Amino acid sequence: GIARLIGEVIGTILVEKGLRGIVVGYDGRLSSPKLADGLADGLIATGVTVLNIGQVPTPVVYFATYNSEFTSGISITGSHNPPDYNGFKIMIDGHTLSGDEITNIFERIAEKKILKSSVPGVTLSKTIVPEYIEYITNDIQIDRPLKIVVDCGNGVPGSVAPAVLSAIGAEVEEIYCDVDGNFPNHHPDPSDPNNLVDLINLVKHTGADIGLAFDGDGDRLGVVTAQGEVIYPDQILMLFAQDVLNRNPGAAIIYDVKCTGALQGHILRHGGSPIMWKTGHSLIKAKMKETHAELAGEMSGHFFFAERWFGFDDGIYAAARLLEILAAAPEG
């Protein structure tokens, strides 16, 4: 019922803005399909069209809003929260809602500020993952094969990330890549080193070049070296910044307040313009648009590429960019 009410409010906002439809996708949590159905019921009650892209990582929902007829999207996901949690990541006409815009949804529900249409909208279905994989593989092919281990923690990235990384030329060993909303092996949160233990052991055992871990909805990335050392996201951001600035001298690079103070000097030394900003994917994306930054990152493992990509946080695409950099470096 709550999902339907949220759908009615979002649909009302879309109608008010003259927007005709919205993309909806959901993660692998047990509650997600029912929430998606309720949300769609509310949306179509306002007369808008729902483009249902099914069970996909959050970045694939964002991707669909840049590569379909609709520029708005909702990802139903609890991200890295416990299995019985769930939520909605909402983007309207390219803008991710946050703060007062979220509380406004509650206020509209409470005050029944909802438009109902005499002619309901429709739900259309589309498979977008092959297009997502093709787009990335057209952009990235690694210079030499890398042996990698991918741990998806039974989150929804398991259905996409291994396929993307294989398609760009990596040899992929999978661990916990079957989607299971009970998360039976470990919690899908790569920012907690306890969740990386099995990945580290398998990387060492197989002699892999690198280990990659994703959170529950695929918008964050964790990295371990061949020696089993955890590489923190602000260190990865240094590597990404250096790479992006090689092609875009003077570009703005955004990082959140939790990152190391060494980032500022690193970005300056490589000819970039460092900008420290507030934590939060919606806040970072808004700042990127304002400053025309080519790259942004957060200590939580969110990476946002505007160069060659769309400016949204995508752990899977970030993993592909990381392999591209590693494969281009001298071996060893």
pLDDT level of residue 167 (50, 70, 90 thresholds):
very high
- In angstroms, the CA 230 to CA 245 distance is 25
| 224 DSSP β-pair partners | 211, 230
Tell me: the pLDDT tens digits for 58-91? 999 999 999 999 999 999 999 989 999 999 999 9
State residue 225's pLDDT score. Answer: 98
State residue 332's pLDDT score. Answer: 54
Per-residue pLDDT for 324 more than 90? Answer: yes
State residue 300's pLDDT score. Answer: 94
Mean pLDDT of 196-208: 98
Tell me: the pLDDT tens digits for 263-316? 999 999 999 999 999 999 889 999 999 999 999 999 999 999 999 999 999 999
Mean pLDDT of 187-204: 97
Q: Of 75, 79, 159, 300, which one is the catalytic site residue? A: 79
Q: In what order do the strands lie in the sheet with 273-277?
A: 273-277, 252-256, 295-297, 303-305
Contact 83, 77 (CB under 8 A): no
Tell me: the pLDDT tens digits for 92-104? 999 999 889 999 9
Mean pLDDT of 180-203: 97
State residue 290's pLDDT score. Answer: 96
Measured CA to CA in angstroms, residue 170 lies from 130, 143, 161, 214 at distances of: 18, 10, 11, 17
> What dihedral do alpha carbons 293, 285, 295, 141 form, nearest 10°?
-130
Structure letter (DSSP) for residue 312: S
The mean pLDDT value of the chain amounts to 97
State residue 330's pLDDT score. Answer: 84
State residue 201's pLDDT score. Answer: 98
Tell me: the pLDDT tens digits for 128-162? 999 999 999 999 999 999 999 999 999 999 999 99
Contact 287, 293 (CB under 8 A): yes
Active site residue 79: yes
Quote the tokens at residue 72: 């708005």
- In angstroms, the CA 151 to CA 317 distance is 15
What's at 87, amino acid-wise?
Answer: G
